[in-house]
Amino acid sequence: MKKLAVVAFGGNALLQGNEVGTIEQQEKHTFDTCEQLIGLIKNGYNIIITHGNGPQVGNILLRNEAGWKEYKIPKMPLDICVADSQGGIGYMIERQMRNVLAKHKIRKNVITLITEVLVDIKDPAFDNPTKPIGPFYLKEEADLLAKANKWIFKEDPRKRGWRKVVASPKPIDILNKRVIGSLARKGNIVIAVGGGGVPVYKHKDKHLEAIEAVIDKDRASALLAKEIKADSFYIITDVPKVYINFNTKQQKALNKLNVKRARYYLSKGEFAAGSMQPKIEASLDFVENGGREAVITNTESLPKKNCGTRIVKES
């Protein structure tokens, strides 16, 4: 029986930080990243691809604003913007994955699924929105938008302006998880949980409603991997391994971490809250709930046999 891996593409897998985000740039990075998955496929893995959407959904929100100002095109809510990004990015990954498969003479179907993710309306994250989305504004602009739309803005730590912030609740269920798992186990490459999924919640009568929030992509991907009983969970980021004492003279790469050691480093604040910490926490959630291993690495290292930092329950 083939093994099953969930592979979470980070933002840099599609777009580099110093680029403007043309389709040519994104397609090149997408092709290059998909190329690195061939090793997993040849090693007997069926794969599910998840992905981030930060820059792309930010651009969609900008188009929202520009269309309203110039042509009075009605703005779409955040859940529709996230779904739009899932469709666009999923299509791009799907097409480039097909191109890579053709190059290697591998026959597989590739399918993209718009994915809703269930959250709890009582999640405490809704009381303290922290996730920035969309463009930067001047303080005066932010104040006007906040008053007109009941939005919340916070100043960027790097003093680049003010940005709208929304809640980032914990994902509690992946809708269509069984379909995703079934398709993947039959040998199809499935692209799902884009941008962490579209957050929805249930009323008492089971009616589903969207809510303005964003879900951490790695947490949602780990939940999917856990629920479908994947063997491995890969998080693709911009560093080859996890480090302690990062960016200091004492920096040290970690080849393997067990749960106890990972939690120790978390307690010591070794992993930055906005970058590596959620990746470590997502990895722990996976391996503590039946997963064989989680791997954090970059695109270039992925084809190597013992790439990245491997997180396991015990070592």
pLDDT tens string 285-305: 999 999 999 999 999 999 888
- Whether 12 shows a pLDDT value over 80: the answer reads no
pTM over 0.85: yes
Q: Where residue 91 falls among pLDDT bands split at 50, 70, 90?
A: very high
13 with 47, same domain: the answer is yes
- Whether 158 shows a pLDDT value over 90: the answer reads no
Domain of residue 298 covers 3-128+167-312
77 with 216, same domain: the answer is yes
34 with 157, same domain: the answer is no
- What is the spatial distance between Cα 94 and Cα 17, in angstroms, rounded to a whole number? 23
222 with 284, same domain: the answer is yes
69 with 97, same domain: the answer is yes
44 with 134, same domain: the answer is no
| Identity of the amino acid at 61 | L
Nearest CA to 8 out of 298, 312, 315, 304 is that of: 298
Q: Domain end: 166, 187, 222, which one? A: 166
Three-state SS at 302: coil
Q: Domain end: 139, 166, 193, which one? A: 166
Contact at 8 Å (CB) between 114 and 52? Answer: no
Contact at 8 Å (CB) between 235 and 291? Answer: no
- Whether 122 shows a pLDDT value over 80: the answer reads yes
276 with 287, same domain: the answer is yes
| Total number of domains constituting the chain | 2
Summary count for the chain: helices (H), strands (E):
9, 17
CATH code, domain carrying 245: 3.40.1160.10
Q: Where residue 54 falls among pLDDT bands split at 50, 70, 90?
A: confident
53 with 147, same domain: the answer is no
Nearest CA to 11 out of 81, 46, 45, 59 is that of: 59
Average pLDDT over residues 40-58: 94
160 with 171, same domain: the answer is no
Q: Domain end: 142, 166, 190, which one? A: 166
Tokens of 117: 């993710």
Judged by average pLDDT, the poorest of 86-90, 126-130, 155-159, 293-297 is 155-159
- Whether 136 shows a pLDDT value over 90: the answer reads no
Q: Where residue 13 falls among pLDDT bands split at 50, 70, 90?
A: confident
List Cβ neighbours of 82 (8 Å cut-off, separation of 6 or more): 53, 57, 194, 195, 197, 198, 199, 214
28 with 75, same domain: the answer is yes
N-to-C CA span, the chain: 25
235 with 299, same domain: the answer is yes
SS3 content of the chain, % helix, strand, coil (to 5): 40, 25, 35
Average pLDDT over residues 80-105: 98
Nearest CA to 92 out of 143, 37, 29 is that of: 29
Three-state SS at 2: coil
250 exposure class (CB count in 10 Å sphere: 0-12, 13-18, 19+): exposed
Contact at 8 Å (CB) between 283 and 236? Answer: no
- What is the spatial distance between Cα 240 and Cα 247, in angstroms, rounded to a whole number? 14
More confident residue, 110 or 2: 110
Kindly list the catalytic residues.
11-12, 131, 217, 279
Q: Where residue 65 falls among pLDDT bands split at 50, 70, 90?
A: confident
26 with 62, same domain: the answer is yes
Average pLDDT over residues 72-97: 97
42 exposure class (CB count in 10 Å sphere: 0-12, 13-18, 19+): exposed
Task: DSSP letter for 14, please.
Answer: T
